[in-house]
């Protein structure tokens, strides 16, 4: 009995048991390898998917702000100062020699002096006396109306004589204070009638004074 017990405890394991252990170990090794390799691929796929999703779903960054505008400040140009007008310089004409001109002038005979015109006879500025320039005089008639009213006075006349020496017209007439204005036309008509008979120097201005007085003896 003692020898059977001793074989069962201390003897070598059976071959079947060893083969089973080896198979279990190999199985576990394959299983671990399969698990490790499969899990690794799955993890890689999951990480890639997350990365791709994250890249796709992430919004694009905002565009950078535009650069600030630089306004160009245009400096006002100063108006050009007016320039003073400078007249163009005109060169004087060249002076030609006058020797030939002097020779030709001296060779010509001296010009004769022009004859001195006779001094013109000035006409008298004012009227001259009719008594000194008339060969025939005639006294005027006394106006009847002035004679009836005893109007007396002196009349001074300047008259023009034409080419024929006859009376042309009265140039000026004046009355003294003794003849009222309403009688003056009668005295002028009487004097004009008397001047028609005058024969005087042609084209002359003459003067004559006529005194109208009543005879105190009547």
218 residues of the chain, pLDDT tens digit each: 433 343 444 555 567 778 888 888 988 888 888 777 766 566 546 545 553 434 444 556 677 777 776 666 666 566 666 665 656 666 666 655 544 444 444 445 556 666 665 555 444 567 899 999 999 999 999 999 999 999 999 999 999 999 999 999 999 999 987 899 999 999 999 999 999 999 999 999 999 999 999 886 54
Structure tokens at 144: 């009847």
Establish if 116 belongs to a structural domain: no
Structure tokens at 95: 């002076």
Establish if 108 belongs to a structural domain: no
CATH of the domain at 189: 3.30.2420.10
- Its pTM stands at 0.43
Establish if 50 belongs to a structural domain: yes
Q: Which domain holds residue 142?
A: 128-212
Establish if 164 belongs to a structural domain: yes
- Count up the domains in the chain and report the number: 2
User: Measured between alpha carbons, how far is 124 from 207 in angstroms, rounded to an integer?
Assistant: 12
């Amino acid at each position: 009995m003692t020898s059977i017990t001793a074989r069962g405890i201390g003897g070598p394991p059976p071959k079947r048991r060893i083969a089973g252990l080896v198979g279990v170990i190999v199985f576990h090794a394959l299983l671990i390898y399969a698990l490790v390799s499969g899990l690794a691929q799955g993890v890689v796929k999951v990480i890639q998917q997350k990365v791709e999703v994250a890249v796709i779903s992430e919004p694009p960054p905002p565009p950078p702000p535009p650069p600030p505008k630089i306004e160009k400040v245009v400096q006002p140009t100063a108006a050009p100062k007016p320039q003073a007008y400078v007249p163009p310089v005109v060169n004087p004409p060249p002076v030609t020699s006058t020797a030939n001109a002097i020779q030709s002038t001296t060779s010509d005979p001296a010009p004769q002096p022009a004859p001195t015109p006779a001094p013109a006879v000035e006409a008298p500025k004012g009227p001259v006396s009719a008594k000194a320039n008339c060969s025939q005089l005639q006294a005027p008639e006394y106006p009847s109306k002035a004679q009836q009213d005893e109007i007396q006075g002196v009349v001074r006349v300047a008259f023009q004589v034409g080419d024929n020496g006859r009376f042309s017209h009265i140039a000026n007439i004046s009355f003294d204070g003794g003849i009222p204005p309403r009688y003056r036309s009668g005295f002028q008509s009487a004097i004009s009638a008397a001047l028609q008979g005058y024969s005087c120097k042609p084209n002359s201005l003459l003067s004559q004074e006529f005194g109208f007085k009543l005879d105190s003896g009547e």
